[in-house]
Amino acid sequence: MPLYIKDPEVDRLTNELIGLTGTSKVDAVRDALKDAIATRRAKLPMHERLARTLAMAEAAGPFHPGDHKKETDEMWGEAD
């Protein structure tokens, strides 16, 4: 769904960002939104960030046990 914004201040700010970055209007808005999201995520409390990380780890499944150093050495043809 397209995004239509009819706000003179938003238009002015977008044009200012375009002037600073030399990008297109779409790229300027996309980059500004990504930056705003990253800034807000970085400000989340540690327990919320940790909860997200733990949820991702749980969704990834159990860790494969083994001697990863040995497996890497064997993969590269290195002896003990």
Give 18-38 pLDDT, tens digit per residue. 999 999 999 999 999 999 999
The residue ranking higher by pLDDT, 69 or 36, is: 36
Across the chain, what does the average pLDDT equal? 89
Whole-structure pTM over 0.85, yes or no? no
Asked if pLDDT for residue 12 goes beyond 90, the answer is yes
Q: Give whole-number Cα distances, 37 to 24, 34, 41, 52, in Å.
A: 20, 5, 6, 15
The residue ranking higher by pLDDT, 67 or 53, is: 53
How many other CB atoms are found less than 10 A from the CB of residue 69?
9
Question: What pLDDT score was predicted for residue 9?
Answer: 96
**Residue 23, phi then psi, degrees to nearest 5:** -105, 180
